[in-house]
Amino acid sequence: MQTLNRLMVYALQLLPKRLVKPFAMRYIAGERLPDAIRVLGDLNAKNMMGTVDVLGENVSTKEESLQAMKACEDVLAAIEKHHLQSSLSIKLTQLGLKLDPEFCHENIKSLLTVARSHGTFVRIDMEDSSTTTATLKLYEKLRSEGFENVGIVIQAYLRRSEEDLQRVIGRAPNVRLVKGVYVEPETIAFKDKEEIRLNYRKLLRILLEAKCYVGMATHDDVLLQSAHQYIREMKLQKSDYEFQMLYGVRVKRRDQIVAEGHRMRIYVPFGASWYSYSMRRFQENPQIARYVLRAILSRNS
């Protein structure tokens, strides 16, 4: 089955983008900021928060980084202007991490300063393992510089993540806990589904027992069940945590969690770089890739 799923994703990558786009857009707000603002408004009306991601990573020039900075600043201004319940999610390689770490640091400081003036929180997303150490170092530096409106992501499938968590937990971090989506070698990442689940649960318990605010980002029913169990066991208040899901994924389950009275934040990506994001999501969830491929083939048969 895994081989078939990989073939489905590979087949999607061979198709023209114009065929893939209508289906990919079910999981992306659109290509422009007004699209994201519209989606955030709809989510807020349904008692859900958002976090906006300007799609793109691994830029090749500082000029591209500065363009991404401007796009992020526009998001922050729009969140305030439209009175939206939303944070901003950023990727460091989009803001110059691999070009010049100090240039990236100055970019993030500037962005956090703007966000603080708007009363908005910024989440530093985690990328592939080549950037993990640099991302954590920059996060720690920003916290030591007095920025409290910034959070981090921990990926449960990385073998190093428990050690990374222990490294930052003294700062009472605001953590988004995810399984992880990038393809990594077995030497540094768990590959077995149950191993990843086990580590996710372990890391989640560590965070909750340390009284850290956690964004429990998962669509996995097994992990959602564990999260509910921890909430009951630890007698957590609704303000101590939140659930997080991706836009367009498991909408009925998402709505059920909200109806039960829990906080829910939806990851809302937008931008011209929709294709690479979509392919990574399809790799993460080949069942969606299979559905999309079948739908495209039946539409064009």
Alpha-carbon distance of 145 to 266, in angstroms, equals 29
CA angle (270 as vertex; 268, 271 as ends), nearest 5: 165
Catalytic position from the list 53, 125, 164, 281: 125
Q: How far apart are CA 144 and CA 277, in angstroms?
A: 32
Q: Which residues, at least 6 apart from 291, have a Cβ–Cβ distance to it below 8 Å?
A: none
The domain of 15 spans 1-28+275-301
10 pLDDT band, cuts 50/70/90, is: confident
Same-domain check for residues 65 and 132: yes
- Segment 268-282 shows an average pLDDT of 83
Q: pLDDT higher for 249 or 146?
A: 146
Predicted pLDDT at 18: 83
Same-domain check for residues 7 and 148: no
> Alpha helix (H) ranges present in the chain?
2-14, 17-24, 33-45, 62-81, 101-118, 132-144, 161-168, 193-209, 221-233, 251-259, 274-284, 286-299
Q: Tokens for 92?
A: 């460091």
* pLDDT value at 2 more than 60: no
> Average pLDDT for residues 152-179, to the nearest whole number?
97
In this structure, how many other beta carbons lie within 10 angstroms of the beta carbon of residue 81?
10
For residues 193 and 224, state if they share a domain: yes
Which has more confidence, 248 or 87?
87
Token duo for residue 139: 């996060």
Options 123, 176, 197, 263, the catalytic residue: 176
Instruction: Of 6-15, 52-61, 150-159, 219-228, give the lowest mean pLDDT range.
Output: 6-15
Task: Kindly state the average pLDDT of the residues 287-299.
Answer: 69
Q: Is 176 a catalytic residue?
A: yes
Decide: helix, strand or coil at residue 250.
Answer: coil
Are both 60 and 204 inside the same structural domain? Answer: yes
Residues 289 and 251 in one domain: no
Structure tokens at 175: 């953590």
101 and 14 housed in the same domain: no
14 & 113 share domain: no
| Same domain flag for 120 and 195 | yes
Q: pLDDT tens digit string along 93-130?
A: 999 999 999 999 999 999 999 999 999 999 999 999 99
Q: How many separate domains does the chain show? A: 2
Task: Compare 289 and 200 and report the one with higher pLDDT.
Answer: 200
Which segment of 16-20, 183-187, 241-245 scores lowest on mean pLDDT? 16-20
Does residue 49 have a pLDDT over 60?
Answer: yes
Contact in structure between 126 and 153 (CB atoms under 8 Å):
yes
Task: Determine the pLDDT at residue 278.
Answer: 77
Confidence of residue 1 (pLDDT cuts 50, 70, 90): very low
Measure the CA–CA gap between 208 and 258, rounded to whole angstroms.
20
Is the Cα torsion angle 279, 86, 202, 237 positive or negative in sign? negative
pLDDT digits (tens, 9 = 90+) for 54-78: 998 889 999 999 999 999 999 999 9
* Cβ neighbours of residue 261 closer than 8 Å, sequence gap 6 or more: 238
Say if residue 6's pLDDT is above 50.
Answer: yes
Whether 131 and 1 map to the same domain: the answer is: no
- Residue 299 has a CB neighbour count (10 Å cut-off) of 10
Active-site residue 221, yes or no? Answer: no
48 and 20 inside one domain: no
CATH number at residue 173: 3.20.20.220
Query: Per the structure block, which two tokens stand in for 115?
Result: 């966000």
Q: Which amino acid, 123?
A: R
Same domain, 55 and 157: yes
The mean pLDDT value of the chain amounts to: 92
> 15 with 61, same domain?
no
Residues with Cβ within 8 Å of 124's Cβ and at least 6 positions away in sequence, in order, are 90, 92, 108, 135, 138, 139, 150, 151, 152, 153
Average pLDDT over residues 133-145: 97
Per-residue pLDDT at 211 exceeds 90 = yes
